[in-house]
Every structure is written in structure tokens, then in C-alpha cells.
Amino acid sequence: MATFHNLGDENKMIGLILGTTEGKDILSLLNRFTDDIFVSTATAYGGSLLENYKYKIVNTKPLKEEDLLENFKKYNIDILIDASHPYAVEITENTMRVCEKLNIEYIRYERPSVLEDFQDYKNVITVENYEELYNPLSKIQGNILNTTGSNNIEKLLSLKLTNRIIHRILPSVKVMEKCFDLGVEVEDIIAIKGPFSKEFNKALIDEYNVTAMILKDSGIQGGTLEKLQCCIEENIYAIVIRRKTIEYKKVFYNKKDLIKYIERTFSPGV
């Protein structure tokens, strides 16, 4: 494989933080011209999905700010691509600070939002955080389908709503155990990996007699479009937790444009 190095320095590497399906696409595009890449995923499962890709180093555990600092120094990261999930705010903010400290160029790959196209619908309600869910949900009768994952179930339970809440979660032992530890009943758990079609979402709404769905603005790749379309057609409430607004110095919403920038900027003679 032909590799490139910024300014001819063979010790320099690209850092790539993965947390989305597009992250693998970005890695594949980078592999067309380099394997000098430090890849970081938050889980061993994420790392297991990279067997057919090329890189020099892979990390498969969550990294705190001090861990990022240590790794970026150790592997001489020259440019960092943050392709973490739009709601993984902590890793993004920590990475930005570390890149600032080490004078590393930080580039954000951000999934385009789909929420803006649905804000004129009366049944689509947006909130800034989980604490703000109480006001709209407390006024809604019937069952609620939580599609935001398991990490924030505790926050939902703390709202002490009288509604039945069904949680759609990843089918892993660790996640299931977390739900049981929090007192979630087995009949209130749907353990299955998305994203799903509009028709599948409708089937769940009908099966569980759902009157409101909690979701994130996770982009088309995260199934948000199908969820919103489904809620509108089924005439139920879509309660959307907005993304946190973060100011990026350099952000791309298109993977190919991102790769063109990196190849143009960091390949000698291009």
C-alpha cells in the first residue's frame, strides 16, 4: 500500500475516532492511500468490526481526556478526525481540548440533521435534554417507546412518569443486565439492533400501543428519518432530544469532501 506522511515525516499518524457507521467508510477511504492511522472505538465490539481494514494501532476502550493526551503524544498524531456519534458530546469536547493543547488539527465529521424538515408538524416536539422531557411526556397518556438507547434509562426513570415506558436497546448481555439492575421489567424491553424501516417502527407502535416515541436526531444513518415519518403517519408524538450545539473550527458533512481535504493537505506533491 502506498502511504503518505505530512511534510515527509514518517512518524506522523492520522487519528480517527469512530462511533458511527460512516466512520468505517471514512477508514476505508483513507485506506486507499494510507494505513498510518490510530483508530479508537469505545468498545471491543466496535473494534471487532474493523478486521478488514488497515491501520497501525486500534484502541477498543473508552478514553478519558488524560488518556487521549497520552495516546496522541505516544503515536504522534498529526491530524484528528472525530467521527464519533452526534450525541457523544464528552469524547468530542475532550478531543477538541487535547488537540488544542497538542497543536493537532481537529476535523469533525458530522452527520447531517434531518430534524429541520419536520419542525412544522405539531406532533414533533423538541427538547434540549432529558430533564426537559418531563413537561411534554407528563401531558401524554398511553405507552412511551424510548429509542434513545440504554445509557439514559436512569434519567427517564427519575422523571417518575406514570406511563409505561418500553425501552428499545442493543441485544447485549451488559445492556440487559443494566436494565435489570435499574428495575426495568423484561416485558418493557425490546432488545434488537437497528436502524429499522418505517414499517418495522409502525409494527412496534401497533404491538405496544405506543402514543409517544422518544428519539434523538441521529441522522438518516441512525434511522431518524424513518422514526419521524412513522410517528407522523401513525399520528403519535415524536419527542426529539436535540443535539448539543458545538462550534467546530473545521467540519465536514460529506465523507468524500473530508477525504479530499486530507489527501490534498497532507499528501506531498498533491
Q: What is the pLDDT of residues 214-239, one digit of tens each?
A: 999 999 988 999 999 999 999 999 99
Burial of 85 (0-12, 13-18, 19+ CB in 10 A): buried
CA pair distance 30, 32, nearest whole angstrom: 5
User: What pLDDT is recorded for position 30?
Assistant: 95
Mean pLDDT of 113-129: 91
User: What pLDDT is recorded for position 13?
Assistant: 92
Residue 81 clears pLDDT 70, i.e. is over it: yes
Same domain, 107 and 119: no
**pLDDT per residue as tens digits for the range 162-174:** 999 999 999 989 8
Same domain, 232 and 183: yes
**DSSP 3-state of 115:** helix
CA pair distance 104, 49, nearest whole angstrom: 27
User: What pLDDT is recorded for position 8?
Assistant: 43
For 90, the enclosing helix (H) or strand (E) is helix 89-102
Contact 75, 15 (CB under 8 A): yes
Note whether residue 175 is domain-resident: yes
Same domain, 142 and 237: yes
Same domain, 36 and 100: yes
Enumerate the β-bridge partners of residue 103.
Answer: none
- Return the half-sphere exposure (C-beta side, CA atoms, 13 A cut-off) of residue 27: 29
Structural domain span for residue 35: 6-112+245-266
Same domain, 45 and 119: no
Contact 59, 41 (CB under 8 A): yes
Contact 246, 89 (CB under 8 A): yes
CA pair distance 223, 7, nearest whole angstrom: 41
Note whether residue 1 is domain-resident: no
The dihedral over CA atoms of 177, 221, 95, 174, expressed in degrees to the nearest 10, equals 10
User: What pLDDT is recorded for position 269?
Assistant: 43
Same domain, 252 and 191: no
Same domain, 196 and 258: no
Total domains in the fold of the chain: 2
The residue type found at 36 is D
Quote the pTM value: 0.86
User: What pLDDT is recorded for position 5?
Assistant: 44
Residue 266 clears pLDDT 80, i.e. is over it: no
Give the CA angle between residues 260, 265, 270 to the nearest 5°. 80
Residue 267 clears pLDDT 70, i.e. is over it: no
CA pair distance 265, 207, nearest whole angstrom: 53
Same domain, 107 and 198: no
- CA neighbor of 177 nearest in space, from 146, 202, 197, 150: 150
**pLDDT per residue as tens digits for the range 22-60:** 889 999 999 999 999 999 998 888 888 898 999 999 999
Mean pLDDT of 122-151: 94
Mean pLDDT score of the chain, rounded to an integer?
A: 91
CA pair distance 90, 269, nearest whole angstrom: 37
User: What pLDDT is recorded for position 82?
Assistant: 97
Contact 77, 38 (CB under 8 A): yes
Same domain, 260 and 176: no
Residue 199 grid cell: 414499517
Residue 251 grid cell: 467540519
Using 50, 70 and 90 to split pLDDT, how confident is the model at 9?
low
Same domain, 55 and 71: yes
Contact 244, 219 (CB under 8 A): no
Mean pLDDT of 190-202: 94
